[in-house]
Amino acid sequence: MFHHEVEESGEKPDDASEAATVPPSSPSIAASPYWGQSTAPAKPEGFSPAVGFCFAINYILGTGFLTVPWAFSQGGLVLSTVVIIAVGFFSDMAKNYLLETMARAEAMLDNRMHWIKRQPGDEEKMRLIYSPVIMRTESSDLLQSTPKPHNYDSTGNLSAHGGKLAPAYSLPGTPGASLPGTPLPSQPGTPSKQQHGRHLIHRPPPKYLVKHRKFEVNSLCRVFLGKPGLRLYTAFICLYIYCTLWAYTSVFASAIANAVPILGDDNYDTNYLIFALIFAAMVVPMSCMELDEQVVVQVIMTGARFLMLALMVGTSSLCADDVHNHSKKTFEEAPMFHLAGIHKMLPIMVFAHIYHHSIPGLANPVNNKKSLSGMFRATTTFSTIAYAFIGIVLASTFGKHIEQSSNLNWNNFTGGTAVLNKEGEIVSVAWWAKAISIYVLCFPALDVVSAFPLNAITLGNNMMGSYYGKRIHEVEHNRWIRIRFRLLAGIPPIIFGILERQLGTITDYAGTTGFMIGFSFPALLYLRSRMKAKKKHFNATTFYSSYASSSVAAWALFYFGAVMVVYVVCCLVTRMGDEDDDERRRGRSLMFVGPDWLLQ
């Protein structure tokens, strides 16, 4: 299955690689836009960075954020804030590492996934370009053709008049070329003009960009980590996303079957099956669609998430009063620092930032590839601020007695509008209070409708990349092939969700692979791709290089992900003997989506 490998530089290059290294026949013609017709750049296809931001928010801001306030109450408000900011910083580093690796793959591989040959010094030669021709008349010193100032763009290309000047690949003396600083021969039809010499100009080193080709993470693993890395990552991503989609199915069917028992409370199993099939009818077709075909749905769901946050924060004080009146528990403030609860808080904070496996799929449809780093950084920044804000507000409002899945606090929400009878029972509640309560409680079911297809697309693309190997770019535009792998990604977890509702221990351990997927693999890919670029005489710098572009930072992030896996597995093993574990599992609400260890 994984037999396709990237061919090393020792093999004969194909036409694409030769074309990338053979210089143009006439640098004098290619070097200046004055020698050819300038064309306006075509309007880029795809959606805007703002739409890409909405897609990324729908990936990262899932129902996992509902456990963040509980985590704040366990670790302390100040300590948890520091941790969530630090993890957001690590998440931004991992994002940059993936973008840099994708950009290097774009520059170093041709369309047949062969290495482009480079020799020592080729990079320096490609930085040389000829200056534009300046025309001067014999009778006047007035320039007949005054070139516009040269502008270097962010990728190291010299531009003028809307065009780009080609590199001086060939030495002086090739057909149509001239020695720098010497006059060019007069052109036919211009006997009264003299052409002044053209000079070689050094442009900045190239900064590689992500372009139209899509390199899924497992394809990057095959290129830079080899078969072992490919197989390990593919196993991790399949286990992680399959269990996630399985949980989504169970959450939707359970939540709606409880909220809307269309066949009555006595027929829960039948209700569950009906809603699981309805869920499949919605999400499987969406999983077969491309991201640009889901723009309206995903943007609406982003708005639904923002509304959820606003309702929870805006009505939290009213809800806290209802909780106090209903439970009769004494209010206990959440601590500022609680080191004893860090083992409960830390995994939730880290898990809430994992979305990196989706970055290649999200980056591909965005029309402005230079904005990718800013788009994903905005996603991480917004999510971190949202997590910190909702964590501080809800943990402060509800105190230590906040529910593990914070939306469950709205189960008895009345907003102060409850009408009681003589026995003290609620007989009437305002319609808007009921609407808020239902929306907040059922939000996880609404959320997974948009999250399921996004994850299924990511899994399907990775499985397709694993199967086709270096031929992936030959078949990735075949829609029927894509659909087959999307169905393979989306249908089995729905079947699992129908047959088995209690996910059990497997999802606990499967969730730990997310730390390797989100942090360790991006760092390792960055290190290996940078090493490969230097070895093959490519520039190690990319357009997405940042404060994190160092080997020390990358190794630190790699070990952070690995340590988190070991830490959480140890927590899972040690808690298995807890006497109240079975009771806690039975009482756990399926409104929460995520590995069970997040509620420890």
Residue 40 domain-assigned? no
**200 shares its domain with 219:** no
Domain membership flag for residue 294: yes
Residue 44 belongs to a domain: no
What is the DSSP code (8-state) at residue 230?
H
Same domain assignment for residues 344 and 312: yes
What is the number of other CB atoms lying within 10 angstroms of the CB of residue 297? 15
Show the 3-state SS of 370-407. HHHHHHHHHHHHHHHHHHHHHHHHHHHHHHHHCCCCHH
310 and 177 fall within a common domain: no
> Which token pair is 185?
């021969």
One domain, residues 191 and 156? yes
Domain of 515 in residue numbering reads as 51-113+214-413+444-540+547-599
Is there a single domain that holds both residue 268 and residue 140? Answer: no
- pTM greater than 0.85: no
Terminal CA-CA length for the chain: 38
**82 and 165 inside one domain:** no
Tell whether 265 is covered by a domain: yes
- Strands 143-145 and 151-152, by their bridges, are unpaired
Give me the pLDDT at residue 92, please.
Answer: 93
The domain tally of the chain equals 2
Question: What's the length of the chain?
Answer: 600
3-state SS of 439-469? HHHHHHHHHHHHHHHHHHHHHHHHHHHHHHH
Residue 369 lies in a domain: yes
150 is a domain residue: yes
How high is the pLDDT of residue 122?
Answer: 61
Domain-located, residue 154: yes
Question: Are residues 325 and 200 located together in one domain of the fold?
Answer: no
Q: Quick one: 145 and 276 in the same domain?
A: no
Looking at residue 525, its pLDDT comes to 95
Q: Is residue 137 located within the same domain as residue 254? A: no
CATH number for the domain spanning 357: value is 1.20.1740.10
Residues 101 and 136 in one domain: no
SS3 116: coil
Pick the last residue of a domain from 174, 205, 236: 205
Which residues are 163's β-sheet partners?
A: 160
In-domain check, residue 25: yes
Query: 242 and 297: one domain?
Result: yes
According to the model, what pLDDT value does residue 140 have? 47
Q: Which of 179, 205, 231 is the last residue of a domain?
A: 205
Enumerate the H helices of 48-177 as residue ranges.
49-60, 68-75, 77-108, 122-125
Residue among 540, 560, 563, 564 at smallest CA distance from 552: 560
Q: Which has the closest alpha carbon to 367: 545, 478, 211?
A: 211
CA distance 528 to 537: 14
- The pLDDT profile of the chain, 600 residues, written as one tens digit per residue, is 444 444 444 444 444 434 444 444 434 333 333 333 444 445 556 788 888 898 888 888 776 678 888 889 988 899 999 999 999 999 999 999 999 999 999 988 888 778 888 777 666 666 556 656 555 555 444 444 444 444 444 444 444 444 444 444 444 434 444 444 444 444 444 444 444 556 666 666 678 889 888 888 988 999 999 889 999 999 999 988 898 888 888 888 887 887 778 887 778 888 889 999 999 999 999 999 888 888 888 888 888 888 988 999 989 888 888 877 777 677 788 888 888 788 788 888 888 888 898 899 889 888 888 899 999 999 999 999 999 999 999 999 888 888 888 888 888 888 878 777 777 677 778 889 888 988 888 887 888 888 899 889 999 988 888 888 777 777 878 888 889 999 999 999 999 888 877 665 566 667 788 889 989 999 999 999 999 988 888 888 889 988 888 999 999 999 999 998 888 888 777 765 554 444 444 334 333 334 333 333
What is the pLDDT at residue 99? 94
Question: Are 170 and 64 in the same domain?
Answer: no
CB 213: neighbour CB atoms within 10 A?
Answer: 17
